[in-house]
Amino acid sequence: MINLSALLVMLFLSDSSRMHQPAPGQDSPVRLSETYELANIILALTDYGKTDSWEVSQQSSYYREVRDYFDRYSNHPLLAKVNYSRQQWESYLSFRTDAYAFAFDSSNQLVRRVDFTANQGFNPFEENLKLVEDFVKVTEFRRFYRDHLSYYQGLASAYLSSQRYPEMLHFLETEFGKHSDISGYAIVLSPLVGRMNCHRMVAGVGTDFITLPGFLLTGKTLQLVSEEEVASGTHMLFTELDHAFVNPLTDQYRLLVRANFANSQWDSGSGYQKDSLATFNEYMTWAVYNLYVLRYFPTVAAKVSQDWALQNETRGFYASTLFNQELATLYHRRKPGQMLKDIYPAFVKRLGLRQASLSKPFIKGCNLADQTIHDTTATFVIEFSEPMFQHSTLDVVRAVEEQGKTRQERLVLTPQANGLVWSANGRAVRFTLTLVNETLNRLLFNYPWKTSATLRSRKGIDLAPYTQIKTTVKNKI
């Protein structure tokens, strides 16, 4: 076990000249980086950073302190230069991540300490170095950072306590084997990072730039956090850390993967499909997480894994549930003594057998889709493109616009209360539901984190998350 009291002496001393490395003899992977925090604060102050709450986490009191202190410098020319967008994600990610390669010297100048860039062909932090240094001087950033050092320390301590990192590393090293080419592992964090976790090699160290779980950002103590929240919160770190294990093994079997796994068949626009192995690796890192969470959080594993599978499907990995189940089935049937690395070839071939029959289920028709009706009691008949699993209940999120605000309500439809009935061998379902008058009602299916039983085809592929039916209710005149 890691001695947290000893860690705090080591973890958070901002010794820039040593590139955020821990003191000798300590085994914590966590790093705090003054320059990484600097880059994240800069991006949070741009117009894009203020408007995209998924990109910059805005749920912490720290975020409000950042805005209160730095908003007076909103006209600084640097902010306009680095005002990126969701479409410019390579520049955004590179600016914040490349900052980790820099440190302040004794003259308070930023100097590169290691040869590292997050994305080949992108170098925005160094290109804007003079403006960054001016921003630091004008805003007295370093004083702000020192004043908040105890906050960063406490946050990192709570993070390390919640993640069960030793179990993660033990699981991965057992299943995949240790890597002699990796000198160590590091975790770099900022409370402002809202999305785009990434794993990179930095001077031989497998380094994960991660997103913090929401319960830590809102100040919830670990004693009040549910097992489901903790298990779900480990996903961001695990699925970055395991890239250091999955990617090299996939590369070892790259010819087999290319012969049995066609990106065009498994990827519906994730952006990873341009790389011949990247789509497979992304599927695989999330599927391995399911095996990990089943071992260490068995009572909540099914719910947590399903939530993250739906989330992955929103990213373009539409067959995540199928992929996950195929790996879990083969893993649980493995021979005594076999590990994940041993069943890799068989699993890849198994995917090749499933690939030819892949298809995305969709709603083929609905009697009330895009219709205006004059009764709040509505009977829906939905037809699907292929047979679906016939669950005895059906989850739906009803969203309505009222007084300029969206109100959502999760509803569980049953045969008793809603006349839920399946027909046509799972190709059709019928139910009655009360709608809200004088507004557009949107029924959303497979809503991540709000759906208990997903609508899924017999082939094992989920209906696309957030699939919706729109029906307007207007009183008769």
At 222 the pLDDT is 75
Write down the pLDDT at residue 236.
86
Tens digits of residue pLDDT in 75-105? 999 999 999 999 998 999 999 999 999 999 9
CA 131 to chain centroid, in Å, comes to 32
Residue that finishes a domain, picked among 308, 339, 355: 355
- Give the structural domain span for 344: 242-355
Q: Which of 375, 31, 14, 366 is nearest to 200 (CA)?
A: 31
Alpha-carbon span 360 to 321, nearest angstrom: 12
| Residue 203 near residue 116, CB atoms below 8 Å | yes
Domain's final residue, options 144, 162, 189? 189
- The pLDDT score that the predictor gives to residue 3 is 37
| Pair (390, 280) in one structural domain | no
Could you tell me which of 380, 434, 441 has the C-alpha nearest to residue 406?
A: 441
Are both 381 and 330 inside the same structural domain? no
CATH at 430:
2.60.40.1220
Tally the domains of the chain.
3
The mean pLDDT value of the chain amounts to 90
435 shares a domain with 328: no
Q: What is the pLDDT of residue 28?
A: 66
In terms of domains, do 90 and 178 share one?
A: yes
Question: For residue 403, what pLDDT is reported?
Answer: 78
Query: Which stretches does DSSP call E strand in 376-453?
Result: 377-384, 394-402, 405-413, 421-423, 428-434, 439-445
What pLDDT sits at residue 213? Answer: 86
Output the pTM of the full model.
0.79
Which residues of the chain, if any, have pLDDT below 70? Answer: 1-28, 180-183, 476-477
Are 328 and 381 in the same domain? no
Q: 348 with 375, same domain?
A: no
Which two tokens mark 253? 């079997």
Both 157 and 56 in one domain: the answer is yes
- Residue 297 CA to residue 315 CA, distance in Å, equals 25
Residue 119: inside a domain = yes
User: Are 182 and 53 members of one domain?
Assistant: yes
CA-based nearest residue to 86, from 245, 196, 165: 196
Q: Is residue 430 part of a domain?
A: yes
Q: 250 lies in a domain?
A: yes
Does 96 share its domain with 147?
yes
Q: What is the pLDDT of residues 355-396, one digit of tens each?
A: 999 999 999 999 999 999 999 999 999 999 999 999 999 999
Q: Is the domain of 172 the same as that of 268? A: no
234 lies in some domain:
no
Question: Can you give the pLDDT at residue 182?
Answer: 65
**How much is the pLDDT for 110?**
96
pLDDT of residue 275: 82
> Is 421 contained in some domain?
yes
Asked whether residue 328 falls in the same domain as residue 456, the answer is: no
Burial class (CB within 10 angstroms; exposed 0-12, middle 13-18, buried 19+) of 372:
exposed
Whether the Cβ atoms of residue 116 and residue 99 lie closer than 8 Å to each other: no
d(CA 353, CA 243): 25
Compute and round to an integer the Cα radius of gyration of the chain: 25
302 and 370 within one domain: no
Q: 222 in a domain, yes or no?
A: no
Q: Is residue 423 part of a domain?
A: yes
pLDDT at 25: 30
Instruction: Indicate whether 348 belongs to any domain.
Output: yes
Which of 355, 371, 402 marks a domain boundary? 355
Characterize the bridge pairing of strands 371-373 and 467-473. Answer: parallel
